Structure 1
Amino acid sequence: MSERILVVGPSWVGDMVMAQSLFMTLKQRSPGCRISVLAPAWSQPIIERMPEVEEALALPAGHGDFALKARWQLGRALRGRFDRAIVLPRSWKSALVPFFARIPVRVGFTGEQRYGLLTECRKLDKSVLDQTVKRFTSLGLPVVEANPPANILEPHLETDSANQARLRGELGLVAPPKAIIGMMPGAEYGPAKQWPLAHFRALAESLTQAGAEVRIFGGPKDVAAGEEIAQGLPGVHNLCGKTRLADAVDLIAECQEVVSNDSGLMHVAAAVGARIQGIYGSSSPHYTPPLTANREIHWLALECSPCFKRVCPLGHTNCLNHLPPERLLAAITLADDNQEALPS
């Protein structure tokens, strides 16, 4: 009988994309296994683009909510359905549903005194499992193979060509002769991860002058930022707040390259095959790199970096302000017959 696995997923877009490396590993080791993912409802459009996952279950709680009764009710409803649970978050509450579901094997890292809730509490050695994706993948492996995993599989999200065509018509997107460049100016974590909007705008202006189309991606909170970049620039489309998450996946997949802060959409872009120009400020490209070899990292590695703060504790954010748009421009290649890099 095929093993039935419940994975309790993470709460951030980028982490959910990276979790696909675990799902791919599980399927590689046991092709017949059946994977269900318990995660916030917003993540379902991402999970649906992962062929390894059979079922997405909506977590009956908002971000940060304890929701004990709802977790207990869901756990009871899931009894008898799963052979193993893998709990990716390290919080106490994240282990409750598998416990209430009486899943016989419940694996996760120690954290918030989860002894009893988990049947296998693994110690997290951050010096060995020094990346989020390594931590996720390791929980799907026997302990003897997990520290660290020998092979990390790169996420690959499926795309919908019919939806791409529909969106191009509805949003007035016309592919230019050279390239489509995506921009992701947002970062849900905080301003210490956000490259200045003036830099994004200067780069967008140079790209469109060279014949590229620029698409700006983000959620409703990024609409004003997108407009600050796009206003008055022909060929720059502010798509922030105009697309669902699944739509963003499809439209990003049409971009040859993307310029992005360390954000969830950067990981989406990597998983649909775009070349990544990844910008890092307060975070570290060693901890959460885009999972593709087709990337270039832009990080000044100042003495104060990485601080992992939401807001610069020194008040200057030099790790991003001093990263000039000319550097990004020189790194981008437009898709023409000669494949020449843009002049800086």
Structure 2
Amino acid sequence: MGRDEPGWHGGGEGERILVVGPSWVGDMVMAQSLFKTLKARQPDSRITVVAPAWSRSILERMDEVDEVANLEVGHGQFGLAIRRRLAHALRGHFDQAIVLPRSWKSALVPFLARIPWRTGFTGEQRLWLLNDRRRLDKMVLDQTVKRFVALGLPAEESARGDFPIPRPRLRLDTENLVECRVELGLSSRPAIGMMPGAEYGPAKQWPLGYFRELARGLVVEGYEVRVLGGPKEVEAGEAIADDLPHTHNLCGRTRLADAVDLLGDCEQVVTNDSGLMHVAAAVGTRVQAIYGSSSPAYTPPLTENAEVHYLGLDCSPCFQRTCPLGHTNCLNHLMPERILRSILAS
């Protein structure tokens, strides 16, 4: 395939690549596997990521990302005028665009920016917005991270699905960690992180009472417990930490960049299938990952340092926000004693 044809994928030194990033924390972490793949194949390439402003603190911890272009559009908002302004600012600066989300609107900025080669999976009637269109074989590309990496490879290579997946690795800021520990009043005890949230819905959330029971057992074993999450998880964090010694509800009290460093400082974390699970995996902390309605085969923690807790019931995975059977046994039957044993055995 020649350089003057859509879909050309490499060879030129200093190729300028625009990646339209995803809108979820976990997906943005997994996108680093694509960035690593691009840099490994084209070390002199320059990668710019179009992403929501919140994700800058994640992207700035990735050595492979050279620049972030903020897309100030709310989740689910179309924002045509905003996309046009961004496209105008990007015009003439890129050789290729890789569009990770499969929505129509996500492919609009590279098209309006007149980027010559625009790569993405077909979907949502966006055929005319892309000129390097890929068919998504969900059996071959059976994980989210595989789909991201595949878009950075030649079509014939990505279609086989047997390519390597480099693991994400986020850089830590030790100075910020020291400041966080002082400001939040954390102790010198070895720390266990807990992430009770899951943006997708309650069918992915282990019961708060189980988190609290586990926290109580961990404190007895000499650990400090840090409950992490965003403003939406403040009440959940309080339900876990209330009146428990050495247990800190940090939900809503930290920036995303702080959470990266605090998770890197933990010995282990206990987490639902969530964005912060992928952050913890990417900073090298041991992950105790709890799966209910989702599948560890589809969105696993991208680390060898993980223990997956998944019952694999006949009704799992259903991928629903709430349990369609009304019992959520895939989570309710995962008892705190099992997780505590796994932590203490690690």
TM-score, normalised relative to structure 2: 0.95
- Which residue is equivalent to 1:151? 164
Aligned residues: 333
Residues 149 and 9 of structure 1: is their aligned pair in 2 closer, same or farther, counting only changes over 3 Å? farther
- Which residue is equivalent to 1:79? 91
- Which residue is equivalent to 1:338? none
State the alpha-carbon separation in 2 of the partners of residues 21 and 125 from structure 1: 19
- Which residue is equivalent to 2:106? 94
State the alpha-carbon separation in 2 of the partners of residues 113 and 284 from structure 1: 28
- Which residue is equivalent to 1:58? 70
- Of residues 219, 224, 230, the one that matches 1:219 is 230
- Which residue is equivalent to 1:10? 22
Q: Deviations over 1:314-340 (max 9, x none)?
A: 11111101110001011003xxxxxxx
- Which residue is equivalent to 1:121? 133
Q: Secondary structure at the match of 2:127?
A: coil
State the alpha-carbon separation in 2 of the partners of residues 251 and 270 from structure 1: 13
Residues 286 and 104 of structure 1: is their aligned pair in 2 closer, same or farther, counting only changes over 3 Å? same
- Which residue is equivalent to 1:336? none
- Of residues 297, 300, 306, the one that matches 2:317 is 306
- Contact in 2 for aligned 1:214/1:235 (Cα 8 Å): yes
Larger displacement relative to structure 2 (57-66 or 294-303) = 57-66
- Which residue is equivalent to 2:212? 201
Measured after TM superposition, the shift of residue 293 of structure 1 is 0.6
Alignment of 1:1-344 (within 5 A): 1-147=13-159, 148-176=161-189, 179-333=190-344, 341=345
- Which AA in structure 1 matches 2:321? R
State the alpha-carbon separation in 2 of the partners of residues 116 and 190 from structure 1: 34
State the alpha-carbon separation in 1 of the partners of residues 152 and 163 from structure 2: 12
- Contact in 2 for aligned 1:137/1:149 (Cα 8 Å): no
Measured after TM superposition, the shift of residue 116 of structure 1 is 1.4
State the alpha-carbon separation in 1 of the partners of residues 223 and 76 from structure 2: 41
Measured after TM superposition, the shift of residue 60 of structure 1 is 3.0
Measured after TM superposition, the shift of residue 256 of structure 1 is 1.1
Measured after TM superposition, the shift of residue 149 of structure 1 is 4.5
- Contact in 2 for aligned 1:201/1:228 (Cα 8 Å): yes
- Which AA in structure 2 matches 1:202? E
What is the root-mean-square deviation in Å for CA atoms of aligned residues?
0.9
**4+ residue runs over 4 A deviation:** none
Measured after TM superposition, the shift of residue 113 of structure 1 is 1.4
State the alpha-carbon separation in 1 of the partners of residues 231 and 75 from structure 2: 18
Gapped regions of structure 2 (runs ≥ 5):
1-12
State the alpha-carbon separation in 1 of the partners of residues 313 and 180 from structure 2: 41
Residues 70 and 149 of structure 1: is their aligned pair in 2 closer, same or farther, counting only changes over 3 Å? farther
Q: Deviations over 1:108-151 (max 9, x none)?
A: 00001111100111000000000000000000001122131410
Gapped regions of structure 1 (runs ≥ 5):
334-340
Measured after TM superposition, the shift of residue 175 of structure 1 is 2.0
Measured after TM superposition, the shift of residue 221 of structure 1 is 0.7
State the alpha-carbon separation in 2 of the partners of residues 171 and 72 from structure 1: 42
- Contact in 2 for aligned 1:134/1:149 (Cα 8 Å): no
State the alpha-carbon separation in 1 of the partners of residues 231 and 85 from structure 2: 33
- Contact in 2 for aligned 1:180/1:255 (Cα 8 Å): yes
Measured after TM superposition, the shift of residue 207 of structure 1 is 0.5
State the alpha-carbon separation in 2 of the partners of residues 68 and 244 from structure 1: 29
TM-score, normalised relative to structure 1: 0.95
